[in-house]
Amino acid sequence: MGKNNTKTALVTGAASGLGFELALLLAKDIYNLILIDIDSEKLDLAKTTILKTYPTTITLMVKDLSVVNIAQEIYDETSNTEIDVVVNNAGFGLFGTFYDTDWERESEMLHLHVLTTTHLIKLVLPDMVERGSGKILNLSSLAAFQPGPLMALYYASKAYILSFSQAIANELKGTGVSVTVLCPGPTKTSFQDVVSEGCNKNKIGFNMACPEKVAAYGYKAMQKGRVVAIPGLFNKFLSILPRMLTRNRTTKIVRQIQDKNRDS
């Protein structure tokens, strides 16, 4: 990959939603881009759209990030490039009771959220630490702060991303490398449509943020080296609710909300 610019950023789930918006912000700041997504058509469109405004170098990689050891494949294919920023954005959710949901799809989600995210960081981090610079932005969720009945594995996997990110951010103090975890509430992206396949209208109508604002908030937090970024005052309040009401109580509240969405 040719280097017109001096910095390179890798973004997963870059074809739409928050991943695309974050890629736009990186292009604006003159990063070369490595954009990864499973949807080749949307990925091509994302590249075309970005290049209309920002003349940068963009490499596209069509990958299924739920596949075992896909992170190694990505790392090997980008081994000739110094990656300054990694944005682990790709993800999806599943709705339904755990005993009744599809294990194959759940396994794919866990591989994507947990194993691929962790493995990719494991691979790029030593290079960043050796150079003494680098930024990682992991996409978690407001869901990370409490259990989520009817989306049990999604909530649990996002809690993993939050905990893991906070831990390694602490380990990396003084290295010149930072880790930021973005925990948005409901955001108007294709994620909502994927989740909705499991119910009638599992879309929270209030407190729905636009992806441009959420991406800008997370991007600013990453550039400042903040560890946890929660956009919106209401979301910040919701994140501490389990400490105020106990996790048992907030779990019951989440279940009531999910039941209403399922029945509506």
141 phi and psi angles, rounded to 5 deg:
-170, 160
Of 69, 71, 113, nearest in space to 94 by CA: 113
Contact call for residues 93 and 45 (beta carbons, < 8 A): no
Annotation marks residue 154 as catalytic: yes
User: Helices 233-245 and 247-263 sit at what angle, rounded to 10 degrees?
Assistant: 120
Listing DSSP states for 162-183 in one string gives HHHHHHHHHHTTTTTEEEEEE-
What contacts 24+ positions apart, CB below 8 Å, involve 63-70?
63/36, 63/37, 63/38, 64/38, 65/12, 65/13, 65/36, 65/38, 65/90, 65/111, 65/112, 65/116, 66/107, 66/108, 66/109, 66/111, 66/112, 66/116, 67/111, 68/111, 68/115, 69/119, 70/116
Tokens (6 digits) for 143: 């869901």
Active-site hit among 154, 155, 217, 219? 154
Tokens (6 digits) for 188: 């108007």
Q: Report the relative pairing of strands 31-37 and 7-12 from DSSP bridges.
A: parallel
3-state secondary structure of 35: strand
Contact call for residues 11 and 32 (beta carbons, < 8 A): no
Distant-in-sequence, close-in-space partners of 211: CB < 8 Å, separation ≥ 6:
17, 18, 20, 21, 187, 188, 189
| Residues belonging to the active site | 154
